[in-house]
Amino acid sequence: MSHNLGYMEYNKGNTGYNSGENYPSMDQYNYGQGNMGNMGNMGQQYQPPQQQQQPPQQQQQHNSGFGFPSPTLYNMNAQQQQQQQQQHQQQQHHNQQTSPMYGNNGGFNQFNNNDNSHYSPPQQGDMSRQFISQISDNPLTQAGLTYGLNYGQTLFSGGKQYVDSNFGKYFSFSTLKSYFNVNNSYVFNKIKLLIFPYTQKTWKRRIGRTSDVDSYLPPRDDINAPDLYIPLMAFITYFLLYGFQMGMEKKFSPDYLGACITKGIVFWAIELLIFKCGFFFSNSNSIPFYDMISYSGYKYVLMVIFQIATILLGSYVSYIIKCVLSVSIAFFMLKTLRLVFSSVSGAHDHISPDYHESGKIKNYFVFGFSVAQALLCFLV
CB of 196 within 8 A of CB of 328?
yes
Kindly state the DSSP code that residue 223 receives in the 8-state scheme: T
**Nearest distance in Å: CB 336, other proteins:** 22
Answer yes or no whether residue 380 interacts with other proteins by CB under 8 A: no
Residue 218 CA to residue 227 CA, distance in Å, equals 9
Task: Give the range of 4-12, 109-117, 131-139, 229-237 binding other proteins by CB under 8 A.
Answer: 229-237
Is residue 243 involved in binding other proteins (CB under 8 A)?
yes
217 binds other proteins (CB under 8 A): no
Q: Is the Cβ of residue 117 or residue 184 nearer to other proteins in the bound state? A: 184
| # residues contacting other proteins (CB under 8 A) | 24
Whole-Å CA distances, 357 to 60, 333, 369: 90, 22, 19
Using alpha carbons only, give the angle 244, 305, 183 rounded to the nearest 5 degrees: 105
Please give the C-alpha separations between residue 34 and each of 23, 43, 129, 132, 301, in angstroms, as whole numbers: 17, 14, 11, 9, 89
Is residue 163 close enough to count as binding other proteins by CB under 8 A?
no
Among residue numbers 184 through 203, which ones bind other proteins (CB under 8 A)? 184, 187
CB of 245 to other proteins, least distance (A): 11
Q: Could you give the C-alpha distances from 131 to 37, 85, 128, 238, in angstroms and in order?
A: 7, 19, 5, 84
- For other proteins, the closer of residues 102 and 239 by Cβ is 239
Residue 180 sits in the site that holds other proteins (CB under 8 A): yes
Q: Can residue 46 be called a binding residue for other proteins (CB under 8 A)? A: no
Cβ atoms within 10 A of the Cβ of 337, count? Answer: 21
Show Cβ contacts of residue 216 under 8 Å, excluding neighbours closer than 6 positions.
Answer: 205, 206, 207, 208, 222, 225
Q: Which residues lie below 8 Å from residue 364, measured CB to CB, with a gap of 6+?
A: 282
Please name every residue paired with 208 in a beta bridge, in sequence order, or none if there are none.
Answer: 215
Residue 183 binds other proteins, judged by CB under 8 A: yes
Q: Is 240 among the residues that bind other proteins (CB under 8 A)? A: yes
Closest separation in Å from C-beta 1 to other proteins: 55
Site string for other proteins, 251-290 (x = CB under 8 A): -x-x--x---------------------------------
Nearer to other proteins, 232 or 339 (CB): 232
Please classify residue 112 by burial: count the beta carbons closer than 10 Å to its beta carbon, then call 0-12 exposed, 13-18 middle and 19+ buried: middle
Kindly indicate which of the ranges 70-78, 150-158, 226-234, 356-364 contains the residues binding other proteins, using the contact rule CB under 8 A: 226-234
Determine, following the binding rule CB under 8 A, whether residue 246 of this chain makes contact with other proteins.
yes
Cβ proximity to other proteins, 76 vs 225, nearer residue: 225
The reply to whether 229 sits near other proteins by the rule CB under 8 A is yes
Segment 25 to 44, residues that bind other proteins, using CB under 8 A: none
* 248 makes contact with other proteins (CB under 8 A): yes
Contact residues toward other proteins (CB under 8 A) are 176-177, 179-184, 187, 229, 232-233, 236-237, 240, 243-244, 246-248, 250, 252, 254, 257
